[in-house]
Amino acid sequence: MDAFFAAVEQRDNPALKNKPVIVSGNSKRSVVSTASYEARLFGIGSAMPVFQAKQKCGHLIIVPGNMKKYRTDSKKIMEILSHFSPLVEQVSIDEAYVDIKGCERLFGSSKNIARAIKKNIYAELSLTCSVGIAPIKFLSKIASDMNKPDGITIITKSQVKNFIFSLPIQKVPGVGKNAMKQMKILQIKTLGDINKYTLPILSKKFGKMGQRLIELSNGIDSSKVEINYIRKSISSETTLSKDIFDFETIKQVLLDRSQIVGKDLRKKKLVCENVFIKLKFSDFSQITRSKKLDTFICSSSAIFNEALALYKKILLKKKIRLVGVGVTALKDKNTPVQMQLIPDRNRRKDQWESVDSAIDSISKKFGDNIVRKASLTKTNYRRNPDAE
């Protein structure tokens, strides 16, 4: 979808059309969730602090987000996609892969299918989207970003080799800031440049990603559209109303974020094997710390205990402006797991899981804040609704 949250707000409020709009809170501590294309012309983008966005555009309009409304529209979008193919993989609230192999007999060429999808979404929701079409999955993702907003980009089979050869390496999914540092050292500017190096060298520099980079550089992507896709991570973070340093306040923030993550896990009937925390400091530098667990968990208390243990290992030298808690290595709660031959007697069953499930049921019926941890009722920390 094109600037999804901002586009929804512009649709629902005609006074916002053709105006620079961001979806965010209105405090100096808030960050941009989504920026309209009019706002992007001023250099405003997602995750930018609102005070910086205001400096770039004096007449910027800030609109608070409405996740319930966005989720409702997202569900309708996915239903439209499912009319064109049974193979739809939703990867975020506003993005999905669709396998249209064999669907041409029903709906015509791939370009005609893209046009029909765009037409149906606009007719039902008055929103535009951009579509990327390619023979392999990772290129379709890249193509979808090439002609925004309201565009269609097609990479044919005969174009794949030349496209890959000239594709900027930073456009490849999974190539982040740390990887880019190594890319610069190796003078790798495009995906085609990967072929200058052997697998042992790339594996030494990029770990498991080295093998995948070689495959992608040769137009090989075995990834399929997964209709039973399970999210790779769930997280919650908040930008604090002021920079903090004291342990008790940070502990309360970690507890609050853990409650949100745990509830989301249980709602999706998932369990996790990894817990991580994210800290952003007063100078905007940030770190993450993670731990692989010896068992799968989904209770908020268990997540909090692991997050707190990770935090206690950090030698804090600067004040903190953002705190996040997340989980990865997710599995369906009902998926069988390998039992230990000799059980660990020191491992305690997570007794809080049943309590959390009961609280989830109460909250669903009577409201989210009807039951809360006592330690969160009297605190200097106030939950930032922008980060929910």
Catalytic residue ranges: 95
Q: Using CA atoms, how far apart are residues 315 and 312, in angstroms rounded to an integer?
A: 8
Secondary structure of the chain in HEC code, one letter for each residue: CCCHHHHHHHHHCHHHCCCCEEECCCCCCCECCEECHHHHCCCCCCCCEHHHHHHHCCCCEEECCCHHHHHHHHHHHHHHHHCCCCCEEEEECCEEEECCCCCHHHHCCHHHHHHHHHHHHHHHHCCCCCEEECCCHHHHHHHHCCCCCCCEEECCHHHHHHHHHHCEHHHCCCCCHHHHHHHHHHCCCEHHHHHHCCHHHHHHHHCCHHHHHHHHHCCCCCCCCCCCCCCCEEEEEEEEEEEECCHHHHHHHHHHHHHHHHHHHHHCCEEEEEEEEEEEECCCCEEEEEEEEEEEECCHHHHHHHHHHHHHCCCCCCCEEEEEEEEEEEEECCCCCCCCCCCCCCCCCCCHHHHHHHHHHHHHHHCCCCCCCHHHCCCCCCCCHHHC
Side-chain half-sphere CA neighbours of 382 within 13 A:
5
Is the distance from CB of 251 to CB of 305 less than 8 angstroms? no
How far is C-alpha 121 from the chain's CA centre? Answer: 23
Cα→Cα distances 23→20, 29, 383, Å: 10, 14, 18
Beta strand 61-63 with 21-23 is: parallel
Q: Using CA atoms, how far apart are residues 256 and 382, in angstroms rounded to an integer?
A: 10
Q: Using CA atoms, how far apart are residues 53 and 60, in angstroms rounded to an integer?
A: 8
